[in-house]
Chains A and B, each alone.
Chain A
Amino acid sequence: QKEVEQNSGPLSVPEGAIASLNCTYSDRGSQSFFWYRQYSGKSPELIMSIYSNGDKEDGRFTAQLNKASQYVSLLIRDSQPSDSATYLCAVKYNYGQNFVFGPGTRLSVLP
């Protein structure tokens, strides 16, 4: 069974710090990885996609992928209170069209 695991949190960081969110997945054949942000009562919003090993940066966000270790992470630099949300890791496996979502990590950025 394909699984995506995340620490449920809450992860609390002070404003201005780096928030580090981690995700592990079970299937080595996975090819595409995504991070979504979901505010309470709202639908998920795509933050980053990453397909190759290494780092991918977009503004304050950096996604890191290590396929050998089967983990993907999201770093948020200069965290702001507005970053407080649940972050969902999603993995697309080699066959099929749908994603498998992790349970999400709740991030709280303290002013």
Chain B
Amino acid sequence: GAVVSQHPSWVICKSGTSVKIECRSLDFQATTMFWYRQFPKQSLMLMATSNEGSKATYEQGVEKDKFLINHASLTLSTLTVTSAHPEDSSFYICSARDTSGSYEQYFGPGTRLTVT
């Protein structure tokens, strides 16, 4: 149980284009999903908290107009990187929290984005 998927697992795009990443909870409902970014040899950095049916809460320093988050259902959240630049190249990971009340977060496999 507690499986989270992400799609795509890796993507290469050109500078200036937009990329959408999907995060799905496969066997549980998640009212809350989280989006993280991780650069090589660094720890996880929380970008935003996504709540189903409401606007995402962004961490300080994260541009909400650049990183668009939509949490339209209890099993799906999407992150769109708009007008991507090479410095956006990173490992993007989502996690989901079960609605059952447990605080545990389950991570998706991650999406490796390379902007050329």
Contact = CB atoms under 8 A, between A and B. Distances in A.
Interface of A: 32, 34, 36, 42-46, 49, 88, 90, 92, 97-99, 101-104
A45 to B, nearest CB: 7
Given A97-B32, A98-B34, A98-B49, A88 B43 contact: yes
B87 interface: no
B110 A42 contact: yes
Interface string B29-49: 000101000000011101001
A97 B110 contact: no
A102 B43 contact: yes
A98 B46 contact: yes
Interface in B9-56: 32, 34, 42-44, 46, 49
Nearest to B44: A101
Interface of B: 32, 34, 42-44, 46, 49, 93, 97, 102-110
Given A43-B93, A46-B104, A101 B109 contact: no
A98 B96 CA distance: 11
30 contacts: A32-B103, A34-B104, A34-B105, A36-B107, A42-B110, A43-B93, A43-B107, A43-B110, A44-B44, A44-B93, A44-B107, A46-B104, A46-B105, A46-B106, A49-B102, A49-B103, A49-B104, A88-B43, A90-B105, A92-B103, A97-B32, A97-B97, A98-B34, A98-B46, A99-B46, A101-B43, A101-B44, A101-B46, A102-B43, A103-B42
Nearest to A96: B49
A97 B49 contact: yes
Contacts of A32: 103
Contacts of B49: 97-98
Residue of B42, B43, B93, B110 most packed against chain A (CB within 10 A): B43
Nearest to B46: A98
Given A44-B44, A90-B105, A92-B103, 20 more contacts: A32-B103, A34-B104, A42-B109, A43-B107, A43-B108, A43-B109, A46-B105, A46-B106, A49-B103, A49-B104, A97-B32, A98-B34, A98-B46, A98-B49, A99-B105, A101-B43, A101-B44, A101-B46, A102-B43, A104-B43
